[in-house]
Structure 1
Amino acid sequence: MVSQNLIKDYFTYEFWVKAEKSTSKNTRFLILPKNINRATDLTGIGIAVSFNNIQVLETGAKFSPIIEVHRDLNYWTHIAVVYQNKEIYLYINSNLVKRIVSKKELVLFVPQSVNRNNFAGSIRGLRIWSYSRNASEIKSFMNQLLPSDEKGLVFNYHGDIRNRVITKTRNTIKKKNNKKDTKIIALYLPQFHEIKENNNWWGKGFTEWSNTKKAKPLFHNHYQPREPYRDFYYDLTNPGVRAWQAKLAKQYGIFGFCYYHYWFKGRRLLERPFNEVLASGKPDFPFCLSWANEPWTRNWNGGSRNVLMPEDYGEKRDWKEHFNYLIKAFKDKRYIRVNNKPLFVIYRPETIPNLIDMMDYWEELAIQHGLEGIYFVQTFNGFRPLSPINRFDAAVEFEPHFTLAHGKDNNFWKLVNGYNGKAKYLDYDRIWESILSRNNKQHKKVFLGAFTDWDNTARMQSSGTIYHGATPAKFKNYLSRQIDRANNVYDSEFLFINAWNEWAEGAYLEPDKKFKYGYLEAVRDALKMNR
């Protein structure tokens, strides 16, 4: 193979092979990154196939088999090698037969041409993907012809590589896809400024940074505290900060923010940053609102203990007052719309006693104010019941909570030795694989969700929930696949990321000291992979 581009961290190599019985053991079809400079420490990954043997190789200063499987290849056999952050998986006919962890970070070079290297047999359907495919994806598509502009597919030759060199890397299948690209909306927390209520409840000067700063690691390699890049502990009442956020989001491909909105029977909390966004017209960046209709409690999770601010929904008079506040946002030219209706998310609709009556009344008021209605979105957030409410136009999956609530919790939990006894955390990779393998069983419009990371021990200390193992590289891989599902499975116009700035819950895209701009770069790259 002649090398062209370098892929690292995540990739999939797959092909069909059939050996001839006359093939000797030493005559192989080789897939090797031949332009690796052996004087460097750059290590590639290669595959060697003979008539009854499959080897996965590390190719650096020497060629070292790291996986070897004996298998009769006299019949057409599908082989896939998946690389995922040092983990290597060998699939034969979509069945996992071997998994190892490499001691090195391996790379793969995308070829310009391929040859059969004196292998007496046939190779066809040779593909390289720029992400790690799972068993169901491999099985579903291994018999299909795919267009070369398939998202994530960086090398594709569906012909038979037999007695000649193939230099063609693009086939002629044209993809008919008139769907719009999915837009990324990031959930946005406004609790980065002082309010009198928080000062009374938690002490003078309290903001979200107060919790973030006091976090401590609970076990070895536990990433706490989370510190913003260059110690930028901002205040959202500063319009320059809001302008910086919008500029940064736009630069890396974020379409808009979904601001959390708090309403307690006429009383508003944390409203100042958004009110100033509305009044000033700046930043010029799309937005929508998510009504976080939970009581505020001392245990931070909306539970019933030690209620600081109860959620009382009132009747028609309160509904009208609430609508009169919302209409100012709904009429703003920056407000995100679907079918010319402002998109409005409700986080806990199941807790609202007269929900349908309230929604019908708001719809009526919206039409009276010259709108075509309101595009109501229900949050699938993990609270029971998990079923959709028919009055809503769509639902949004709030991850990782929604997936965890589907059960099978034992598949995700791991136990480690903590600094004060045993500590538990959830496996980041396992929860993401569960997210990506779930189908839309709701039979309604669903906006998919994604999450960068989750660790709310800054708020909850040892009672918090930790998803361990997140990195920007992993997030890029998973987000790319989720965008592909949003585009091609769910036909979803939007994908919601949790979150832009949930620092005390470990869910943020903003730059930090450890990864700098890594998560934003992951969003940019995942979007590019799906263009």
Structure 2
Amino acid sequence: MKTEVEEIFTYYLPQFHAIPENDQWWGKGFTEWVKLKSAKKIFKDHVIPQPIEPLGYYDLNDVSVIEKQYKIAKDNGITSFCFWHYWFNDHDMLLEKPAELLLKSDIDVKFCFAWANHTWWNKTENKLLKKQHYDFSLESYFNYLLPFFKDERYTKIDNKPVFFIYDLKNALNGKELIKYFTARAQAEGFDGIYFIGENMLPGDPETKLVDQYLNSCDFMKHRTFIRKCFDLLIVKLQRFNIFIPRIYQYERCARKMNMDIDPGSLQIPVIFPGWDSSIRHGKKGVILKNNSPVLFEEHVKNTANLVCKMKRKMLMIKSWNEWAEGNYIEPCNVNGDSYLKIISKYFNSK
């Protein structure tokens, strides 16, 4: 029996188009595809999947790509693309073009935003690329977002536009932003903003500021004490230019994800298809190895059993297309569209 859900969100990375900043930082024409195509195997049986048709190596300058992606997602039960949104300072943004093209179009795509409030670094050279500021004009930011909020395709819950905040704990203007956005939204005819906090645990005081919360880095939380000590040693060795990738078994990590979520809480469970940041960071990366459709289905089935017990039946898939971190459910040359079919097997969206 399928679990009925209100929303199945999936994080959407709008990076797959060239921008001047990435040209400057990484080379002409840089996108995630450059990293994926040039990725090197870290160990003998290391698998680095590649995208296949009907999407392939797409370019988000073409808004019809998003339409094709969403049709595939919707056909498999996913309701909302949650676009990572980068607002660093007053009208200082990155990767905003795909969402803006979507807004100007009439394509069938239900979507919302996740404010990715973190500073950008070149971790290889420990070089600052773009600093996240918190003294920007809340009025300017809300005014930019308002046309999106008013669009009928923008995801709303209880007449509130959905807005994720990646790191509310370190957002110096977080409380003020929530208060201001709520008041402005009400003045515009909404009942407020439906805030969802990312990277949160049940005991965090910031959970009282949001409607719901989640922790998509949960797979790292359940490491043993010995493993945490070993990982700390690996990180310290990097200071001496000794690089050892941190490698875990997908089966162990996925099996423990969501296991400590209280069904009566406001926490949103997360479905996690895999992780391999060696594609982006080489031997500094973190890898969950031996993921497979069989193990993914076990993870999805366990998550479905949890969601059916919860008052607000929502979940997050991390992620739709973060290829340079091995974290995606788009069709690939290794597993085809099997991960999408597994989602549709266990969930029905209202």
Question: Structure 1 residues 412 and 184, CA, compared in 2 at 3 Å: closer, same or farther?
Answer: farther
Q: Distance in 1 between matches of 2:184 and 2:8?
A: 29
Q: Distance in 1 between matches of 2:327 and 2:32?
A: 13
Does the CA-based 8 Å contact 1:446-1:492 persist in structure 2?
no
Q: Please tell me the residue identity of whatever aligns with 1:447.
A: I
Q: Distance in 1 between matches of 2:149 and 2:340?
A: 28
> Is 1:306 equivalent to 2:127 in the alignment?
yes
Give the match for residue 356 of structure 1.
175
> Is 1:244 equivalent to 2:68 in the alignment?
yes
Give the match for residue 121 of structure 1.
none
Q: Give the counterpart of 2:142 among 323, 328, 332.
A: 323
Q: Distance in 1 between matches of 2:229 and 2:332?
A: 26
Task: State the 4+ residue runs in structure 1 displaced beyond 2 angstroms.
Answer: 179-183, 384-389, 405-415, 420-424, 490-493
Does the CA-based 8 Å contact 1:414-1:424 persist in structure 2?
no
Partner SS for 2:191: coil
Does the CA-based 8 Å contact 1:347-1:381 persist in structure 2?
no
Does the CA-based 8 Å contact 1:412-1:426 persist in structure 2?
no
Q: Distance in 2 between matches of 1:376 and 1:440?
A: 20
> Is 1:408 equivalent to 2:224 in the alignment?
yes
Question: Structure 1 residues 430 and 313, CA, compared in 2 at 3 Å: closer, same or farther?
Answer: same
Give the match for residue 41 of structure 1.
none
The CA deviation at 1:409 is 5.5
> Is 1:505 equivalent to 2:325 in the alignment?
yes
The CA deviation at 1:183 is 3.1
The CA deviation at 1:499 is 0.6
The CA deviation at 1:341 is 0.6
Question: Structure 1 residues 526 and 474, CA, compared in 2 at 3 Å: closer, same or farther?
Answer: farther
> Is 1:342 equivalent to 2:158 in the alignment?
no
- CA RMSD, aligned part only? 2.8
Report how many aligned residue pairs link the two structures: 338
Give the match for residue 238 of structure 2.
none
Q: Give the counterpart of 1:271 among 89, 93, 96.
A: 96
TM-score of the pair, normalised by structure 2: 0.88
Give the match for residue 284 of structure 2.
463
CA deviations on 1:449-495 (whole Å, 9 max, x unpaired) are: 1111100111110000001111122112211220220121x323321
Q: Distance in 2 between matches of 1:381 and 1:198?
A: 30
> Is 1:493 equivalent to 2:313 in the alignment?
yes
Does the CA-based 8 Å contact 1:425-1:468 persist in structure 2?
yes
Does the CA-based 8 Å contact 2:59-2:65 persist in structure 1?
yes
Q: Which has the higher contact order (CA 8 A, sep 6+)?
A: 2
Give the match for residue 207 of structure 2.
389
Give the match for residue 215 of structure 1.
39
Unpaired runs of at least 5, structure 2 = 232-241
Unpaired runs of at least 5, structure 1 = 1-150, 153-178
Partner SS for 2:5: coil
Q: Please tell me the residue identity of whatever aligns with 2:84.
A: Y
The CA deviation at 1:421 is 9.5
Give the match for residue 295 of structure 1.
119
Give the match for residue 379 of structure 1.
198
Q: Distance in 1 between matches of 2:149 and 2:225?
A: 39
Does the CA-based 8 Å contact 1:290-1:344 persist in structure 2?
yes
The CA deviation at 1:397 is 2.7
Does the CA-based 8 Å contact 1:476-1:525 persist in structure 2?
no
Identity %: 31
Q: Please tell me the residue identity of whatever aligns with 1:239.
A: V
**1 or 2, which has the higher strand percentage?**
1
Q: Distance in 1 between matches of 2:163 and 2:70?
A: 20
CA deviations on 1:159-198 (whole Å, 9 max, x unpaired) are: xxxxxxxxxxxxxxxxxxxx95353211100000000010
The CA deviation at 1:410 is 4.3
